[in-house]
Amino acid sequence: MQKVVIHDLGQVGFAEGWELQTLYRDKLIDRKRLLRNGGQVTREMTHYLIVCEHHPVFTLGKTGKVENLLVSEATLAEDGIDYHEINRGGDITFHGPGQLVLYPIFDLDYFFTDVHKYVRCLEEAVIKTLFKYDIHGERIKDFTGVWIKDSYKRTKKICAIGVHLSRWVTMHGLAFNINTDLSYFDMIVPCGIADKDKEVTSLATILGEEQDMIELKNCLIGHLGQVFEFEGVIDRR
């Protein structure tokens, strides 16, 4: 069973989370290079999982379109919203308070070398978490992430997923809307999907009340551990 060190950042700026992701990714890639060049590695294999909420930020993936940001830079500045163009796949999305973000930095050589399976496993952990709340999460063909049906049977996106892999080491991950202020999504075309039948929702909106973020965090991390079959170790630094 693989060992994953879990680093809970609390609520942080996007740049801080990205910097830590990059640090861990480079550490795993350096280890791979050393092994492939015949070097000796004394420490046991360790993967990483960053857990956080972000201050309000829009991020645009490498395949996204900047026109899917519907407001000006001046508006972003006035509202205190950051903006970053980043190296994950996918289009534009929002991160902010009340949204649970998980960034696995895994060397998939120790799990499986299949990017599609990796994304499906991230989705599966969220689906299992939703089931605990008597909500049926589902996948939609040609769209990543996790979707649910609201009380009017309309399809809503509750979790966005965007990843980046380098030498089979993962970055970025999933953003699960729990108590998220959904009004931020009015400033973008979320994930580049303009279809009004595929809008964004949150767990609090579906259940009608604010949810316990700590309980959700523990539940989701537990299901991620089940799906990927890893042992989680909390980093208490």
* Model confidence pLDDT, tens digit, residues 61-101: 998 999 999 999 899 999 999 999 999 988 999 999 999 99
Q: For residue 16, count other CB atoms closer than 10 A to its CB.
A: 13
3-state SS, one letter per residue, for 159-180: EEEEEEEECCEEEEEEEEECCC
In this structure, what token pair is assigned to residue 28? 């795993």
Give me the amino acid identity at 32: K
Contacts of 195 (CB under 8 A, 6+ apart): none
> Taking 80 as the threshold, does the pLDDT of residue 237 lie above it?
no
Burial 199-226 (b: 16+ CB within 10 A, else e): bbbbbbbbeeeebeeeebbebbbebbbe
Predicted model pTM? 0.95
Domains, the chain, in order of start with CATH, read: 2-234 (3.30.930.10)
The 10s digit of each residue's pLDDT in 101-135 is 999 999 999 999 999 999 999 999 999 999 999 99
Catalytic residue among 52, 121, 159, 191: 191
Known catalytic membership, residue 121: no
**pLDDT digits 0-9 by tens, 9-60:** 999 999 999 999 999 999 999 998 888 877 666 567 899 999 999 999 999 9
Give the model's pLDDT for residue 198: 86
For 166-218, the pLDDT digits (tens) are 999 999 999 999 999 999 999 999 999 988 888 999 999 999 999 999 999 99
